[in-house]
């Protein structure tokens, strides 16, 4: 089943829609970092960016660095340096943060200084003095940061768009925001066709960031339909990429988000079934494929997956049959031993018979 939600005639698993050029952007997609109890241990050289900001690179990026007014999309985790208390984690929330450099909030000033120095795909550990984050007062709502707390950030620059105005999502009209997301989606489709899966996922993730929960909750009627027509294909495209990269649990999550909006979405059911089958969840996979077939009875890809599951079930049955046969039936070597024992018993009986006949004949002669 193709990545595109709209083009039903293409094979399942390919990119959708038309190729459209967009404004300058830089993107890279990488594996999400593993969550940990505290900040990561980093051995790289310490780079002084500011009197109150230092950086250590965890993973190199590539390309250009963002300039002032670039709209950046980042993931980060934040800890207080003294208590190692984690106060925020956007990876856990599965929602990248948008930051327009030069227009950031005061408490994000130190984080922004770090992002200015980063390339797309770069992940780094930042040390930020309290003067450039939550200051003397701290913050007692969300996030919860005590007064005068120096902070540590593990931050990844997912990607950025260079714009002259530095227009944030919140300042866009609904049409502008949906249009920006749609351009990201089509960029991702081009990269998908070129088998640049990590980069394609980056574009889809940026598109999804434009369609965040706060935005979707405000929409209804035709505008919600317009937004879902962009957002759902991006989740499906992400799932297709993740399946190719064998990141099946993440693929299942993206399919689930689509099915929450459209429980009969054939592509979401098909791709979730594929991911579940790869994880060995055959019953759940079969359930997804059967439901997908109900809505697309002629789809050959669905029929093929159901046939593969049936063949796997047959092979498993034969294997279990052999195992049970070995448990409840005599072992082959035991049968050979039993045959050998019977041969010995027959020879012993014949020998005994011969001895008795011999004695009987001698007795008759003596008489």
- CATH code for the domain in which residue 133 is found: 3.10.50.40
Would you say residue 321 lies in a domain?
no
Q: Both tokens of residue 82?
A: 């003294």
pLDDT, position 355:
73
Q: How confident is the model at residue 343 (pLDDT cuts 50, 70, 90)?
A: low
Q: Report the alpha-carbon distance of residue 13 to residue 180 in Å, rounded.
A: 24
Q: Are residues 303 and 178 in the same domain?
A: yes
Q: Is the pLDDT of residue 11 over 50?
A: no
Would you say residue 224 lies in a domain?
yes
Q: How confident is the model at residue 337 (pLDDT cuts 50, 70, 90)?
A: low
Q: Mean pLDDT across the stretch 232-252?
A: 95
Contact predicate 303/289, CB 8 Å: no
Contact predicate 202/158, CB 8 Å: yes
Q: What percent of the chain has pLDDT over 70?
A: 81
Provide the strand spans (E) within 310-366.
Answer: none
User: 101 to each of 4, 57, 164, 202, 291, how far by Cα in Å?
Assistant: 33, 20, 12, 20, 47
Would you say residue 10 lies in a domain?
no
Q: Which residues contact 103 (CB under 8 A, 6 or more apart)?
A: 69, 166, 168
Q: Is the pLDDT of residue 166 over 60?
A: no
Q: Are residues 265 and 347 in the same domain?
A: no
Q: Are residues 181 and 145 in the same domain?
A: no
Q: Report the alpha-carbon distance of residue 137 to residue 88 in Å, rounded.
A: 18
Q: Which residues lie across from 80 on neighbouring strands?
A: 151
Q: At 199, which CATH number? A: 1.25.40.10
Q: Which residues contact 242 (CB under 8 A, 6 or more apart)?
A: 201, 248, 250, 251, 254, 275
Would you say residue 167 lies in a domain?
no
Would you say residue 267 lies in a domain?
yes
Range of the domain at 354: 336-367
Q: Are residues 64 and 116 in the same domain?
A: yes
Q: Are residues 109 and 177 in the same domain?
A: no
pLDDT in tens, 253-304: 999 999 999 999 999 999 999 999 999 999 999 999 999 999 999 999 999 9
Q: Is the pLDDT of residue 35 over 60?
A: no
Would you say residue 328 lies in a domain?
no
Q: Is the pLDDT of residue 29 over 50?
A: no
pLDDT, position 164:
54
Residue 152 DSSP SS3: strand
Q: How confident is the model at residue 306 (pLDDT cuts 50, 70, 90)?
A: very high
The strand pair at 71-80 and 97-100 is best described as antiparallel
Q: Are residues 101 and 226 in the same domain?
A: no
pTM exceeds 0.85 for this model:
no
Q: Is the pLDDT of residue 45 over 60?
A: yes
Q: Which residues lie across from 152 on neighbouring strands?
A: 79, 127
- The lowest-confidence range among 198-202, 223-227, 245-249, 339-343 is 339-343
Q: Are residues 138 and 205 in the same domain?
A: no
pLDDT in tens, 179-210: 989 998 999 999 999 999 988 988 898 888 88
Q: Are residues 183 and 268 in the same domain?
A: yes
Query: What is the SS3 assignment for 294-327?
Result: HHCCCCHHHHHHHHHHHHHHHHHHHHHHHHHHHH
Q: Are residues 144 and 60 in the same domain?
A: yes
Q: Both tokens of residue 171?
A: 């300042």
136, 132, 130, 131: which is closest to 116 by C-alpha?
132
Per-residue buried b or exposed e for 127-144, using 16+ beta carbons within 10 Å of the residue's own CB: bbbbebbbeeebbeeebe
Would you say residue 319 lies in a domain?
no
Would you say residue 5 lies in a domain?
no
Q: Are residues 220 and 340 in the same domain?
A: no
Contact predicate 2/131, CB 8 Å: no
Question: Could you give the number of structural domains in the chain?
Answer: 3
User: Where among 161, 183, 200 does a domain terminate?
Assistant: 161
Of 305-314, 346-355, 356-365, give the range with the top mean pLDDT: 305-314
């Amino acid at each position: 089943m193709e990545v595109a939600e709209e083009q039903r005639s293409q094979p399942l698993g390919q990119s959708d829609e038309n190729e459209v050029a967009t404004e300058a952007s830089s993107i890279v997609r990488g594996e999400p970092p593993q969550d940990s109890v505290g900040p990561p241990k980093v051995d790289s050289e310490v780079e002084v960016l500011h009197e109150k900001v230092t950086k250590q690179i965890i993973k190199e990026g590539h390309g250009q660095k963002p300039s002032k007014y670039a709209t950046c999309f980042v993931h980060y985790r934040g800890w207080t340096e003294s208590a190692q208390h984690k106060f925020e984690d956007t990876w856990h929330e599965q929602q990248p943060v948008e930051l327009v450099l030069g227009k950031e909030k005061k408490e994000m000033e130190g984080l922004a200084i770090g992002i200015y120095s980063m390339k797309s795909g770069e992940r780094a550990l930042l040390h930020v003095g309290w003067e450039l984050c939550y200051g003397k007062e701290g913050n007692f709502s969300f996030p919860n940061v005590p007064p005068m707390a120096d902070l540590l950030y593990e931050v990844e620059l997912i990607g950025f768009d260079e714009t002259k105005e530095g227009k944030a999502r919140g300042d866009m009209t609904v049409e502008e925001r949906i249009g920006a997301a749609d351009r990201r989606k089509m960029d991702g489709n081009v990269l998908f066709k070129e088998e640049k899966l990590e980069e394609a996922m980056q574009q889809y993730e940026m598109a999804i960031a434009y369609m965040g929960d706060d935005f979707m909750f405000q929409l209804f009627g035709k505008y919600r339909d317009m937004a879902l027509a962009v957002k759902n294909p991006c989740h499906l495209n992400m799932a297709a990429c993740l399946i190719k990269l064998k990141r099946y649990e993440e693929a299942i999550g993206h399919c689930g988000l689509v099915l929450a909006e459209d429980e009969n979405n054939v592509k979401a059911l098909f791709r979730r079934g594929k991911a579940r089958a790869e994880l060995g969840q055959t019953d759940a996979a079969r359930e997804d494929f059967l439901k997908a077939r109900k809505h697309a009875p002629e789809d050959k890809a669905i029929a093929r997956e159901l046939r593969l599951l049936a063949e796997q079930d047959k092979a498993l049955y034969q294997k279990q049959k052999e195992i049970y046969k070995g448990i409840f039936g005599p072992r082959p070597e035991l049968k050979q031993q039993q045959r050998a024992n019977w041969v010995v018993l027959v020879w012993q009986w014949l020998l005994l018979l011969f001895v008795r006949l011999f004695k009987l004949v001698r007795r008759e002669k003596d008489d």
